[in-house]
């Protein structure tokens, strides 16, 4: 990704690619990439906050000029999100990147700023759940249900004391998401799955 390359070169003076872990946070991905080329841990720690700011700035600038007409929402995504009374956006993307993408997809109005949790606020995805629940008035973990399409989404929700509904609209099938509390084929089934979980 061009924005990531530009930010890595600006902050760390190199470009590196690490093993991809779908669903992980942006800083966790960058840490793996920098470790792969033996950047010292202290240097990574010192540079990650600036990388987050620089990456976000480049991404938003590049997105403003990009043709995203090919972007498509998963079927029933907007309706499913709108039907949930207590919802929050939890993503591994930095806040500015996440909101820019939501704007392009027409979903920004469903996720007010100041709610949810984002990559670059916490590197560890599990810790994002605590932050999102805190911002929702300390919403209880046992009443929190994540919706995700990667095995890491499922595992991190459970590690945070929350439940998870897996949805197979991404790259993973029912078997790979089997550890979720429920697995659905598309978001039109979300309301029923939430009702079944109680």
Q: What is the pLDDT of residue 46?
A: 98
Q: Who wins on pLDDT, 60 or 18?
A: 60
pLDDT tens digits along 75-115 = 899 999 999 999 999 999 999 999 999 999 999 999 999 99
SS3 for 136? coil
| Distance separating alpha carbons of residues 122 and 130, to the nearest angstrom | 10
| DSSP H or E run through 151 | helix 151-159
| Distance separating alpha carbons of residues 51 and 195, to the nearest angstrom | 41
| Distance separating alpha carbons of residues 161 and 81, to the nearest angstrom | 22
State mean pLDDT over 6-14: 97
State mean pLDDT over 174-192: 97
Q: What is the pLDDT of residue 90?
A: 97
Q: What is the pLDDT of residue 198?
A: 80
Mean pLDDT of the chain: 96
- Extract long-range pairs of 36-40: CB within 8 Å, 24+ residues apart: 39/12, 39/14
Q: Who wins on pLDDT, 74 or 128?
A: 128
Residue 18's pLDDT band (boundaries 50, 70, 90)? confident
**Burial label, 67 (beta-carbon count in 10 A; 0-12, 13-18, 19+):** exposed
pTM given for the model: 0.93
The percent of residues above 90 in pLDDT, for the chain, comes to 94
**Angle, helix 2-12 to helix 26-36, in steps of 10 degrees:** 60
Has residue 1 got a pLDDT over 90?
no
């Amino acid at each position: 990704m061009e924005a990531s390359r530009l930010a890595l070169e600006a902050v760390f003076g190199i470009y590196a690619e690490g093993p991809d872990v779908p669903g992980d946070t942006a800083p966790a991905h960058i840490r793996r990439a920098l470790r792969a080329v033996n950047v010292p841990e202290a240097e990574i720690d010192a540079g990650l906050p600036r990388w987050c700011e620089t990456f976000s700035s480049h991404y938003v600038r590049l997105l403003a000029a990009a043709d995203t007409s090919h972007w498509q929402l998963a079927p029933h995504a907007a309706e499913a999100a709108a039907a949930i009374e207590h919802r929050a956006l939890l993503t591994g993307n930095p806040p500015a990147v996440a909101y820019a993408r939501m704007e392009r997809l027409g979903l920004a109005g469903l996720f007010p700023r100041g709610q949810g949790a984002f990559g670059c606020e916490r590197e560890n995805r599990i810790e994002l759940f605590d932050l999102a629940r805190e911002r929702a008035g300390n919403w209880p973990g046992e009443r929190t249900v994540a919706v995700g399409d990667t095995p890491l989404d499922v595992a991190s929700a459970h590690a945070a004391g929350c439940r998870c509904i897996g949805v197979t609209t991404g790259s993973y099938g029912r078997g790979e998401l089997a550890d979720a509390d429920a697995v659905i084929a598309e978001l039109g089934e979300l309301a029923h799955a939430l009702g079944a979980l109680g």
